[in-house]
Amino acid sequence: MTALQEVAPREPAAVRREALYFAVRNGKLMAGFGIVLVLLLLGLLGPVLFPGAPNEYGPKPMTPPSGEHWFGTTTFGQDVFLQFVYGLRSTFAVGVIGGGIAAVIGMVVGFVAGYRGGIVDEALNMLTNVILVIPTLAVLLIINAYLGIRSVAVQGLFIGLTQWPWAARAIRAQTFSLRTREFVDLARMSGAGTGRIIAREIAPNMSSYLFMTFILLFGGSVLIASSLDFIGLGPTEGVSLGLMLQNANQWSALQLGLWWWFVPPGAAITAIVGALYVANVGLDEVFNPKLRET
C-alpha cells in the first residue's frame, strides 16, 4: 500500500509534540480528516435532526432535488437525502467494525509471528499467505448467502475476519526489525514475558504505523461492504450507501435519468475512502521526517 520506513524509537512525549506540530500544518492530513469528519457528523447528527423512516414510500415519486427533498426522491417517493444520511451511519459502522477486527487480528498475528520467529512464524505465515490468496469477496458471498443473517454488525464481523492478512504481514515485517533493538533485549533480560514486551516495548514504537494500518483497513472494509450490498447481500433492515446503489441499479434509475439517486451514495463512499487515503499520506509525512516537503 504505502511505502513505509522503519520506525526509530524516541522519547514519546517529544515525538507527540513534534507530530502535533507537523500535523496541524499538513494540508493533506487536515483536508482528509476534515472531509471524513464532516460526513461523520452528518451521519451521526443527520438522523437526529431529520427523524423519519428513510425507506418509507412517499406521495411524490421521481422528483429532482428541491427545497422539500434536498436530494430528490426515488421511484417509490423515498427521500434520497434521508436514505443518504442514515446510510452514512452504517457505512461508518462497517468501517469501524470491519477495520477494527481486522486490525486486532492482524496485530496479534503480526506481532506474535514477528517476535517469536521460528516455527510459530512459519505456521502463522503460511496461514496468512493462504488467506491472502483466497479471493475475499467470493468467501463472503457464499457465507452471507447461506447464513442469511444480514445486519451491519455481522457484515462487519465477516469482513474483519477475512481482511487481516496483509496487515499481519506488514506488522510482522516491522516487528522483525524492532525485535533485535537494545531496549527489547534489555526488557527480555529483565525477565518480561512475550505479551508484555510486545505491549510495552514494541507496539508503542510503531503506534503511528498501527494507526495508519487501521485507516487503510477501514477504507477497505467500506469498499468491500458496498460491493456486498450491491450484490444483494447487504443488511436486510435499514439502509446503507451500497444498498442505495443496488436499489438505484435494480429499479433502472439510470434509464429513467434519476441521477440524484445513484450519484450521492457513490460520491460519499469515494469521498470517505479517498479522504482517508490522502490523510494517510499526510500522516506518513508527519511521522516520517524524510518525507516532509518543507
Is 24 buried (19+), middle (13-18) or exposed (0-12) by CB count in 10 A?
Answer: exposed
- Sign of the CA dihedral 77, 80, 81, 84? positive
**Alpha carbons 42 and 37: distance in angstroms, whole number:** 8
Which residue in this structure is represented by grid cell 493533506? 28
Measured from the Cβ of residue 68, the count of other Cβ atoms closer than 10 Å reads 10
Stretch that binds another protein, among 17-25, 76-84, 204-212, 230-238 (CB under 8 A): 230-238
CA 33 to chain centre: 13
Nearer to another protein, 45 or 149 (CB): 149
Bridge partners, 10 (sequence order): none
Collapsed DSSP state (helix, strand, coil) of residue 37? helix
Nearer to another protein, 50 or 251 (CB): 251
Collapsed DSSP state (helix, strand, coil) of residue 13? helix
Nearer to another protein, 201 or 247 (CB): 247
The single residue among 2, 55, 63, 288 that binds another protein, judged by CB under 8 A, is: 2
CB 50, min distance to another protein, A? 24
Nearer to another protein, 30 or 187 (CB): 30
Binding pattern to another protein, positions 156-185, x when CB under 8 A?
----------x-------------------
Stretch that binds another protein, among 8-16, 44-52, 57-65, 139-147 (CB under 8 A): 139-147
**Of residues 180, 40, 157, the one with CA closest to residue 100:** 157
Q: Which positions lie near another protein, rule CB under 8 A? A: 2-3, 125-126, 129-130, 132-139, 141-143, 145-148, 166, 219, 223-224, 226-227, 230-233, 242, 245, 248-249, 254-255, 257, 259, 262-263, 265-267, 269-278
